[in-house]
Every structure is written in structure tokens, then in C-alpha cells.
Structure 1
Amino acid sequence: MSFAKQPLSLFAITIFGLALSQPGYSETASPERLNEVTQRGMHVMPFDLKQTQHIFNKTETGGLQQVIVRNPPNPEQVELIRQHLTKISQEFTRGDFSNPAKIHGQDMPGLAELRKAEPGQLHVDYKELEKGAEITYSSKEPVLIDAIHRWFDAQLADHGPDAIPGNPHGAMHNMHNMHDMQNMRK
């Protein structure tokens, strides 16, 4: 390889890597689908979708799902979020994904693979947050990691403005560090 081609190659590799690290969710579902999912969700999720925000962050080993209140303080909605995420994290640990199927349908992308996970292949960890709660999904199995990513994409599309993609793992730390550096310069 000649020296003249090397910088272009490094540039191409960098761009390719960045493209792979970006969320791959599809566009928001149709207004009819959004309404259908919202109506079904009201029967499964006890919190108010309009007062809360779903955040789906894909990771190398699976993903991080957060549900937080949009305008804190809102202790009633925080408690409802925590109750729901505690319940579904326990269900998911047992391989019971019936609630997402009730909201998004039986053929929701990734759901079939997640249901087939053997005990110990999929780890589901619940954690409370100041403004809500989160569930971390992790696996060493590439098929399950891919299933989690497709499952997150489907939720991003189906929940429309009530769901957003998270930052690639570690990006928040970099943003905080940049902010700190800017403050130090002032």
C-alpha cells in the first residue's frame, strides 16, 4: 500500500466504524400504528407515555433501556415507572416477553429469539434512577445481541416521539469531559 492511499484508508475505516456505531432504527411508524401501540400500551404500562420518555441505547453486549419522567419532579410517574420496569425485568429474566407482544404484536422483531434464550444466556438487570428506572440487557450470544438491537429498533419506531435512541456507550462521558474542559477555559 502506498503512503498516499493510507490516509484515505484510515479515513474510510473511521467512517465505516462510525456508521456501524450509530443507531439503526427504522423511521417512525405510521400515525395509525403509533395510535394502535399507544392504545395497547395504556393497558400494559401504568405510567403516562406523554409524561415519560423511553431511551434505548444499544451496546456491544445488548442494550440499556431507560424510562424517565420528562418534567421532574413527578414522584407519581417515577413510582409507576419503577413498578413496571421491576415487573417486566422479572418476567424477562424468566423468558416471559408477553407484555411487549401485547403492545407491539407477536411478530415484533427480535422477540422470537429473546423468547428462545436458554437460562443464563440473557442477563436482565434492573436499576432505579433518580427520574425513573432502567433495564440492562446483556448476552455473549451474537444472535441475542442482534435480537436486542432489532427489538430496540422496533420500539423506537413504534413509540415515535415517546422514545429516543441513546448515545453510544461512553459518549456521555466524552460530552461531560468536553463540557468540563470548556468551563475550565472560561
Structure 2
Amino acid sequence: MKQGKRRLLTAGIAAASVGAALGIALLISSTQQEGDNGKTGRQEAVAERGRTVMPFDLEETTHHFTPTKAGGVQDVVADQPDDATQVNLIRTHLQQEAKAFSQGDFGDPAQIHGASMPGLAELEDGYKRIEVHYRERVDGATLTYTTEEPTLVDALHAWFEAQLSDHGDHAESGH
């Protein structure tokens, strides 16, 4: 190849690389910027997708994620404990999720948070080695996840952290 063509090709590759990097940076920036409501673009998108999966009102409820040595505890509660409508919707949804998760179906979290959600693939692969228990509470319901496998405990913790980040004001850590 002649010297001039090689320089032109090198310059073109460099320009394309810079353009791709700039595009990725702008995409990341736009999804991380806070809107007028203090939420990132990703949190707003997750909330919108969540409305199509979760029957309860995200503005009237809170998710609590508590990692444990053997897995974790996920509580979903009505912000107003006497809100029977939200409490019943939470219970119905978490009963369905407990059944689905016990069968390896993590489709709802994947739909809300994306298929590349941290911990998700490991949970789908290892679902037979994770116990999921449903329990009602006065203000909502609880799912408890337990496993004896450290890699699955780590996957549950990563999965919880992703949900905490994505749900923003709708979620709290139970640390």
C-alpha cells in the first residue's frame, strides 16, 4: 500500500474511533444526567418500564433490598401502610414473582432493567440452587432468597445493587 493511502486510512480509522467514543460518551452522559425531578435518564426509563410490569404504584411504594450472608431479603411496602389497594397489588405481584423466580423465570426484572443486568444471568442459570420464599407483612410483602453457593450469593447482591441504583427514590438499602 502506498504511503499516502496508508495515512488516509489511518486518519479515517482514528476519526471513526474518536467519533464512536464521543457517541458512547454522549449516550452515557444523557442516561446519567439528572432530569428536573432529580432522576437519571436510566432511572426514568426503568420507572416507565416498571409501570408495565409491576401493578402497584411506584410513587406510593418502596422497595427495600437487604443483602444477607445466605442471599438477601426484598421487601416491597406501601408508603401508607393502610393503603389496602397498594398492599394487595404488592402481595399479588410478589407471589407471582416468587413462583416465577423459583422456576428460573426472571423475565420481569430483565424487562425492567435489561437482559445484561448484573447478577441476572447467574440467577437464571442457578435458580434450582436458590430458595425463594414469599411472606406477607402488614404493609406489603417480602421475598427471601437463600442459597449455599457463594457465587449465587454474590449474584444476588449484585442484582440487589442494580435494582437499588435503577429504582432511585423508589428503593432503599436495608444494610
**Residues 51 and 118 of structure 1: is their aligned pair in 2 closer, same or farther, counting only changes over 3 Å?**
closer
Contiguous gaps of at least 5 residues in structure 2? 1-30, 33-39
* Distance across 1 between alignment mates of 2:132 and 2:127: 13
Tell me how far apart the structure 2 counterparts of residues 127 and 84 of structure 1 sit (CA, whole Å). Answer: 12
CA distance in 1, matches of 2:71, 2:174: 13
Amino-acid identity (%): 47
One of 100, 114, 138 as aligned partner of 2:146: 138
User: Which residue pairs with 2:47 in the alignment?
Assistant: 38
Structure 1 or 2, whichever has the larger Rg, is 2
With over 3 angstroms needed to count, the CA separation of the structure-2 counterparts of 1:127 and 1:146, relative to structure 1, is: same
Q: Distance in 2 between matches of 1:32 and 1:125?
A: 33
Structure 1 outlier segments of 4+, above 2 Å:
none
Residue in structure 1 matched with residue 118 of structure 2 by the alignment: 109
Residue of structure 2 equivalent to 1:62: 71
CA distance in 2, matches of 1:164, 1:130: 18
Cα distance in structure 2, aligned partners of 1:86 and 1:127:
9
Q: Match of 1:152?
A: 160
State whether residues 64 and 75 of structure 2, in contact with CA within 8 Å, keep that contact through their aligned partners in structure 1: yes
Residue number in structure 2 paired with 1:94: 103
Structure number with the higher helix fraction is: 2
The C-alpha deviation readout for 1:23-50, integer Å capped at 9, x for no partner, is xxxxxx8310011000000000000001
- State the superposition RMSD in angstroms: 1.0
Q: CA deviation at 1:71?
A: 1.5
Structure 1 alignment gaps of length 5 or more: 1-28, 168-186
Q: TM-score when scaled to structure 2?
A: 0.77
TM-score by length of 1: 0.73
Q: How many pairs align?
A: 138
